[in-house]
Amino acid sequence: MYRANEALTSKSLAEMQGVGSGLVQSMDKLGMTYHPTEICALKGSTVEMQCTYTYPYRENGHFTTVEKTLWFTKEEDKEPVDLRSNSEYANRLEYQGLQIEVTTYRSSSWVTLKCASSCPLAGRPSYVWYKNGEKFKERTSPSYGAYFNYEDSYSCAVKGHEDFCSPSVYAPKVPSVSVSPSGEIVEGSSVTMTCSSDANPAATYTWYKKNGNPAQEPLRTGPQLNFVSIQSSDSGEFYCTAQNKLGKKTSDSTSIDVKYGPKMPLLMVSPSGEIVEGSSVTLTCSSDADPPVHKYTWYKENQTLLQGPEESYNFTSISSEDTGTYHCQSENQNGRINSSSVLIDVQCK
């Protein structure tokens, strides 16, 4: 459908001012009116635009009469301008088109499709229906009912204007999930998951996180799942569904593995209890991290004793000189953290 309004005609005629004829220079005094001020018709059909004006009128002591009447639109390089793509004519001419309205019925795959037009169509036009791109039915009614198969698509056209079909309507295709940014995800970073599916009418989206319960509760609705500061507890498998009036499809699962720096280390002394000079004592530093801790640093009174991948520090035969305060530091590629301090008090035999 094309819809033209009065602004288009006024703009076209207004551009004539200053061209050099008495008609054009004085046309604002002609009292022009346009009938109708809005035209809506099928693309490719014939429409009639009418203009009325009054004359003669008096200017500078002389009566001026109409010398010429014309309708025109702008041309460039002797080619007509497509008003839909010309910024000067924005919102003055718009393509409306046919649209299929969908009505569904609860607990049934039966649907009613209506070939709707924004323009009132004269007479009783016939409608041509297409299924999966192939013409299969012609009806005088704009509505058509059918049991809808999720894989099918439907479109329609007004008979005699089959080159200008409506957009097809169809159930959502299997959604895809993308994660941004791609690559390794580190705790505390901002992460966005996006669910997208080809569908008409447009699909609505729902997010789920697998938790072993078959009756999954929705996590969130909308095409995007945003984590402003993602945490290790957010790790897991996510999927989304895309749904419109004609059907519902589910995406494959996408795994999110959130990497994180070491958590507060736990420093243990073995054996526990009183430590006697000459005995064997082991300090163990344990810390949760992903990826695992790759370096431990041992300190006595804040002086470095040892660095390496070992999580234990051993005294084969501890002495009184080893008495003091100890702590450890765990580190991976995402950070490092110190443990609390422990006091080793070595007693004489």
In this structure, the answer to whether residues 324 and 338 fall within a common structural domain is yes
- Tell me: pLDDT of 127 over 80: yes
In this structure, the answer to whether residues 255 and 185 fall within a common structural domain is yes
In this structure, the answer to whether residues 6 and 82 fall within a common structural domain is yes
Residue carrying the six token digits 């992460």: 191
Other CB atoms within a 10 A radius of the CB of residue 156 amount to 26
> How do residues 243-295 score in pLDDT, each as one tens digit?
999 999 999 999 999 999 999 999 999 998 899 999 999 999 999 999 999 99
What count of residues does the chain have? 349
> How do residues 169-183 score in pLDDT, each as one tens digit?
999 999 999 999 999
Is the distance from CB of 295 to CB of 335 less than 8 angstroms?
A: no
Closest residue by Cα to residue 69 from 54, 89, 48: 54
pLDDT-derived band at 73, boundaries 50, 70, 90: low
Instruction: Tell me the C-alpha distance between 172 and 246, whole Å.
Output: 8
- Tell me: pLDDT of 222 over 60: yes
> How do residues 131-148 score in pLDDT, each as one tens digit?
999 999 999 999 999 888
Q: What is the pLDDT of residue 117?
A: 83
> How do residues 79-94 score in pLDDT, each as one tens digit?
666 666 667 666 665 5
HSE-CB for 237 with a 13 A CA cutoff? 8
In this structure, the answer to whether residues 7 and 73 fall within a common structural domain is yes
- Tell me: pLDDT of 114 over 90: yes
Is the overall model pTM greater than 0.75, yes or no? no
**Domain-terminating residue out of 148, 170, 192:** 170
In this structure, the answer to whether residues 161 and 192 fall within a common structural domain is no
| Residue 177 bridge partners (DSSP) | 195
Cα distance from N-terminal residue to C-terminal residue, the chain: 103
**Domain-terminating residue out of 94, 128, 149:** 94
pLDDT-derived band at 150, boundaries 50, 70, 90: confident
Handedness of CA 218, 220, 221, 226 (dihedral sign): negative
Instruction: Tell me the C-alpha distance between 50 and 174, whole Å.
Output: 52
Handedness of CA 153, 158, 163, 167 (dihedral sign): negative
Average pLDDT taken over every residue of the chain: 83
> How do residues 283-338 score in pLDDT, each as one tens digit?
999 999 999 999 999 999 989 999 999 999 999 999 999 999 999 999 999 999 99
**Domain-terminating residue out of 141, 170, 199:** 170
327: CATH? 2.60.40.10
- Tell me: pLDDT of 227 over 90: yes
Handedness of CA 40, 46, 52, 55 (dihedral sign): positive
Query: Structural domain tally of the chain?
Result: 4
Phi, psi of 87 (to 5 degrees): -60, -25
Q: Residue 293 sits in which domain range?
A: 266-347
